[in-house]
Chain A
């Protein structure tokens, strides 16, 4: 009897490829909460997010054999999850997230600002000054790892718009940093 909780993520993926459902369960326990939370920030419909997470682990089950050890398991699963979210949104475009509706008014404490500075250096402050549209595009491409086309699908805007917003965001960031 293997104790899957003692295994590393890489070993779990190998076990999943070998048909161990318990290993998939352990991966789910470890990664699903982060996926739920991160996807919830990109789509306001909890049902859609749950469907995407469900699809993600089904895909992990079926494609575990294709995972190459050269990247982090968490990053690999995230790559699947964000694309599954786009897939579900394609079926249910109404659930596409509109940024105006979001709660984005939390005031950050000084300590938090400090933490941001440590992780992101001086970029955080500059990011903050970007308009929400520009920030979203930057998030979808630079941070979430989507292509411009995928980002457009996620945000419900044409690829061309993604492109222009992205270059505008880059320009503003560069200006803020120099």
Chain B
């Protein structure tokens, strides 16, 4: 250490009254001289110090947001909605991992079973988004259901926000699974529209019944229809029969769009009736 800044000089430096080059040499010196730093600190504006320190403490006391919540807030989603969407049960890693596992299973078995349409995949793919939406609203799975109920966000907005978030998270997974599926003639994501129709229908039913019951009913209807189609065809031709199922054909796709839109309109009209219920 060759020199120390004197008190007068430190004072005028702190007050911003020292010219550039001089200030730079003081700064370089302060970086390595504890003693001068201490003297600068002694005379420093206490008011400013206190205010900023209390802000530091406030920030340390704040809960930290998860990646999803911060991402949502960054793209301009409101604080309340971001929090409520982020805690959606079917957006948890464990749930998404379960979805991936199921899809892998469907794809792998389709390859094993060989010829014909991939029955299992076609049956399960549309159910994945449906199940995800059901779990998103089933308060059984919601760790903060009480908070959700008492939040000032309308149930309708919450319903839409969570449904969109869940669909955005799950549909690409199913689409990705389809890519790995080696089944010519059944590509083109024809399961998607029936799936959206079922989601919409179950949301519409949720205005009257428990969301889980609604989704289970719709899902059971889907599975029943497939069984009815597949059974008469016999084991050997069951795959083709499912592949030719009405919902995957042109008329079925159009009908699916109509059902999906109809369901949404219904949900919108009945938005006051939406309750996210607590079942024990």
Q: In whole angstroms, how far apart are the Cα atoms of A108 and B9 in the complex?
A: 11
Contact B52 A115 (CB under 8 A): no
Q: Which of B9, B19, B40, B49 has the most CB of A within 10 A?
A: B19
A74: which B residues are within 8 A, CB to CB?
30-32, 37
Q: In whole angstroms, how far apart are the Cα atoms of A51 and B264 in the complex?
A: 45
Contact B27 A143 (CB under 8 A): yes
- Asked whether any CB of chain B lies closer than 8 Å to the CB of A40, the reply is yes
How many A residues have CB within 8 A of the partner chain? 45
Stretch at the interface among A22-30, A151-159, A168-176: A22-30
Shortest distance between the CB of B220 and any CB in chain A (Å): 49
Contact A32 B55 (CB under 8 A): no
Contact B19 A118 (CB under 8 A): no
CB-contact partner of B30 in A34, A41, A105, A120, under 8 A = A34
B251: which A residues are within 8 A, CB to CB?
none
- Asked whether any CB of chain A lies closer than 8 Å to the CB of B280, the reply is no
Please give me the residue from chain A that is nearest to B36 by CB atom.
A34
Interface residues of B in 69-120 (CB under 8 A from A): none
Shortest distance between the CB of A165 and any CB in chain B (Å): 15
- Asked whether any CB of chain A lies closer than 8 Å to the CB of B29, the reply is yes
- Asked whether any CB of chain B lies closer than 8 Å to the CB of A50, the reply is yes
Q: In whole angstroms, how far apart are the Cα atoms of A124 and B26 in the complex?
A: 12
Q: In whole angstroms, how far apart are the Cα atoms of A103 and B28 in the complex?
A: 21
Interface residues of A in 51-79 (CB under 8 A from B): 53-54, 57-58, 61, 72, 74-75, 78
Q: In whole angstroms, how far apart are the Cα atoms of A34 and B53 in the complex?
A: 15
By size class, the interface of chain B is 35 or more
Contact A50 B44 (CB under 8 A): no
Q: In whole angstroms, how far apart are the Cα atoms of A12 and B103 in the complex?
A: 51
- Asked whether any CB of chain B lies closer than 8 Å to the CB of A163, the reply is no
- Asked whether any CB of chain B lies closer than 8 Å to the CB of A100, the reply is no
Contact B41 A103 (CB under 8 A): no
Q: In whole angstroms, how far apart are the Cα atoms of A9 and B213 in the complex?
A: 61
A38: which B residues are within 8 A, CB to CB?
27, 30
* Closest 4 pairs (CB-CB, A-B): A33-B44, A119-B25, A33-B41, A106-B19
Q: Which residues of A contact B (CB under 8 A)?
A: 9, 21, 24-25, 28-34, 36-38, 40-41, 50, 53-54, 57-58, 61, 72, 74-75, 78, 103-108, 112, 115-116, 118-120, 124, 127-128, 132, 135, 139, 143
Given contacts A25-B53, A28-B53, 19 further A-B contacts (CB under 8 A): A28-B49, A30-B37, A31-B37, A32-B41, A34-B30, A38-B30, A40-B16, A50-B48, A54-B55, A57-B53, A72-B32, A74-B37, A78-B31, A105-B19, A115-B25, A116-B25, A120-B24, A132-B20, A143-B27
28 examples of A-B residue contacts, CB within 8 angstroms? A28-B49, A30-B41, A31-B37, A33-B44, A36-B48, A37-B13, A37-B14, A37-B16, A37-B44, A38-B27, A41-B16, A54-B56, A58-B60, A61-B56, A72-B32, A74-B31, A78-B31, A104-B19, A104-B20, A106-B19, A115-B25, A116-B21, A116-B22, A119-B25, A119-B28, A120-B24, A124-B21, A127-B24
